[in-house]
A and B are shown apart, each in its own frame.
Chain A
Amino acid sequence: EAQVTQNPRYLITVTGKKLTVTCSQNMNHEYMSWYRQDPGLGLRQIYYSMNVEVTDKGDVPEGYKVSRKEKRNFPLILESPSPNQTSLYFCASSPLYPYEQYFGPGTRLTVT
């Protein structure tokens, strides 16, 4: 089944404890992206990747890192999480930019 998977789906952590949210797609898509969704603010792009080894910042990259070492995976790294990074995170992929994106199920992160 063609899909985007994210892990973990739910995570509660403490301020400053490094964490990684994984994202993987099995559709051989070139483009991948991370978003956060907050009430009243909609979806905001964190980082995106046009292809392997090519990444760039979205609108809200501060406090996040990404890497794209292979086509199928695009992990999101929070080196020192803070409470303002509490949010719902979505990973998405598309065959090429700027075509339709397929979203993962989301990761709900709480930082205390």
Chain B
Amino acid sequence: EDKVVQSPLSLVVHEGDTVTLNCSYEVTNFRSLLWYKQEKKAPTFLFMLTSSGIEKKSGRLSSILDKKELFSILNITATQTGDSAVYLCALAGGTSYGKLTFGQGTILTVHP
């Protein structure tokens, strides 16, 4: 069975802190790993990762994939209150070609 597990489930930090969100997976026929940010509306795309060891970066956010150990991390440096959101990890691949499996999400709260 395809599985995506995110940790921690929730996290509370103060502005300026650095956070690391984790996503581990078990999936047949891996194709890509996707990170999304969800505020009080629809998820918005952050990163797509397909190769191990290649960091993707966008401003204060970065992400990397380890296909050997089957996990990915999302780092956010110098956090701001606007980073407060649910961060979702999703795996493309699995028992059906077009399948997408999401983790439960990590709720990040950034206090001023």
Interface residues in chain A, defined as those with a beta carbon under 8 Å from any beta carbon in chain B: 31, 33, 35, 40-45, 48-50, 56-59, 90, 97-106
Contact = CB atoms under 8 A, between A and B. Distances in A.
Contacts of A33: 98, 100
Contact of B100 (A48, A57, A102, A104): A48
> Helix, strand, loop or mixed for chain A's interface?
strand
Nearest to B93: A98
Given A42-B105, A43-B88, A101 B42 contact: no
B100 A103 contact: no
Contacts of B105: 42
Given A48-B98, A48-B99, A98-B92, A41 B42 contact: no
> Helix, strand, loop or mixed for chain B's interface?
strand
Contacts of A103: 42-44
B41 A45 contact: no
Contact of A42 (B92, B99, B104): B104
19 contacts: A31-B98, A40-B104, A41-B104, A42-B105, A43-B88, A45-B100, A45-B101, A45-B102, A50-B97, A50-B98, A56-B98, A57-B96, A90-B42, A90-B43, A97-B31, A101-B100, A103-B44, A104-B42, A106-B41
A101 B45 CA distance: 7
Interface string B72-112: 00000000000000001010110011111111110000000
Interface of B: 31-32, 34, 41-45, 48, 88, 90, 92-93, 96-105
A97 B97 contact: yes
A100 B45 contact: yes
A45 B4 CA distance: 13
Closest 9 CB pairs of A and B: A98-B92, A103-B42, A43-B102, A98-B31, A100-B45, A42-B104, A98-B32, A48-B98, A42-B102
Nearest to B100: A45
B48 A99 contact: yes
A93 to B, nearest CB: 12
